[in-house]
Amino acid sequence: MTKTALLFAGQGAQCVGMGKDLAERFDRARMLFDRADADLGCPLSRLCFEGPEAELTKSEFAQPAIFLVSWIAFRLLRETVPGFEFQAVAGLSLGEFTALTAAGALAFEDGLRIVRERGRFMQEACDATRGGMAAVLGLDEASTRAVCAEAGVQLANLNCPGQLVISGEADAVARACDLAKARGARRAVRLPVAGAFHSRLMAGAQSKLAAVLAAAAVSPPTVPVIANVTAQPHGDPDAIRSRLIEQVTGSVLWEKTIRHLLDAGFTRFVELGPGTALSGFLRRIDTQAQVLNIADVPSLETTVKALTS
């Protein structure tokens, strides 16, 4: 039997127009957009469909928007491929919440509300600090860690071989980029993000998120959900809450997450949500795995055909 893992998009995948063709084609998608608008008390569907981009990029909107489009992709997959089964899930940063929802650990309404609050808390932390992030390309982990130590920044995302992300105070990130290039990085590029995600500058968001998670109903997942900060399956509900709080300032061990799944015998991966960043990372990690995605109507049709042929 082919073992299938679902992968859920993280912040940065947002784009104006996301989910629009799904809502136009499928009643289920339109209903979920309407439900999210009502539950959150804001025109999230309009931001997804029309922007403006500057507003959609704000964490308080980007996070629930990506969560919602990813959840819609998941629901449409389940409904258009009768009997479809998956054996594990994972999500990049924000996507970990969608993964937990797909695994039954969170109800949809709770997941949507939590990520809206998480995005707001992180936006507040961004506004209170002067942080930034950069992608370091073509430098190994050991050399990048040495650069981080010298510049006083943190290693935020270990995405795939040759693609790491650093995070910290804006001036320190700029200094780290220069150091990385001097040590042989092919490129070190500042990212267009609101602040220093997955760094100590986000600490102000942790206690607020902890209070929200403490009040939320969390159930044991029905399939393994791989945690960002450990690259191992989540434990009981209290452990899930703890790992999600750690994740705010901790490193996202994405390459190790994928390697854990590969070592467990997974050979098919379906990325759900806007963009194809996770598919790109996966192909850099393992060229033999089957990689599918659902972001819009054409990719849904392609994936359904691949799964049913």
Instruction: Give Cβ neighbours of residue 267 (< 8 Å, ≥ 6 apart).
Output: 2, 3, 288, 289, 290
Mean pLDDT, rounded, for 260-266:
98
Mean pLDDT, rounded, for 137-142:
96
Note whether residue 161 is domain-resident.
yes
Active-site residues: which are they?
93, 198
How high is the pLDDT of residue 134?
A: 96
Mean pLDDT, rounded, for 50-71:
95
Mean pLDDT, rounded, for 4-17:
96
pLDDT tens track for 152-166: 999 999 999 999 999
Please give the residue that has the higher pLDDT: either 309 or 221: 221
- Judge whether residue 309 has pLDDT over 90: no
- Please report, for residues 138, 179, 189, 199, 221, the alpha-carbon distance to residue 184 in angstroms, rounded to integers and kept in the order given: 8, 9, 14, 24, 43
- Give the C-alpha separation, 253 to 279, whole Å: 16
Q: Which two tokens stand for residue 136?
A: 């370091």
Q: Which two tokens stand for residue 170?
A: 């804006």
Band of pLDDT at residue 218, cut at 50, 70 and 90: very high
How high is the pLDDT of residue 193?
A: 82
Mean pLDDT, rounded, for 4-21:
96
Q: Are both 113 and 230 inside the same structural domain?
A: yes
| Cα–Cα nearest to 178, from 134, 222, 118 | 134
Q: Are both 122 and 219 inside the same structural domain?
A: yes
Mean pLDDT, rounded, for 80-92:
96
Q: Are both 218 and 252 inside the same structural domain?
A: yes
Note whether residue 115 is domain-resident.
yes
- Give the C-alpha separation, 196 to 156, whole Å: 9
Q: What is the CATH number of the domain that holds 49?
A: 3.40.366.10
pLDDT tens track for 157-208: 999 999 999 999 999 999 999 999 999 999 999 987 888 999 999 999 999 9
Mean pLDDT, rounded, for 26-42:
97
Number of domains present in the structure of the chain:
2
Q: What is the CATH number of the domain that holds 184?
A: 3.30.70.250
pLDDT tens track for 270-295: 999 999 999 999 999 999 999 999 99
Q: Are both 87 and 207 inside the same structural domain?
A: yes
How high is the pLDDT of residue 194?
A: 81
Q: Are both 174 and 277 inside the same structural domain?
A: no
**Range of the structural domain that residue 18 is part of:** 3-127+200-308
How high is the pLDDT of residue 64?
A: 97
Q: Are both 110 and 245 inside the same structural domain?
A: yes
How high is the pLDDT of residue 192?
A: 79
Q: Are both 111 and 72 inside the same structural domain?
A: yes
Mean confidence (pLDDT) of the chain: 96
216 touches 106 (CB < 8 A): yes
Note whether residue 195 is domain-resident.
no
**Residue/partner pairs of 183-187 with CB below 8 Å, 24 or more apart:** 183/139, 183/143, 183/146, 183/147, 184/138, 184/139, 184/143, 185/136, 185/137, 185/138, 185/139, 185/144, 186/137, 186/138, 186/139, 186/162, 187/135, 187/136, 187/137, 187/138
Q: Are both 175 and 208 inside the same structural domain?
A: no
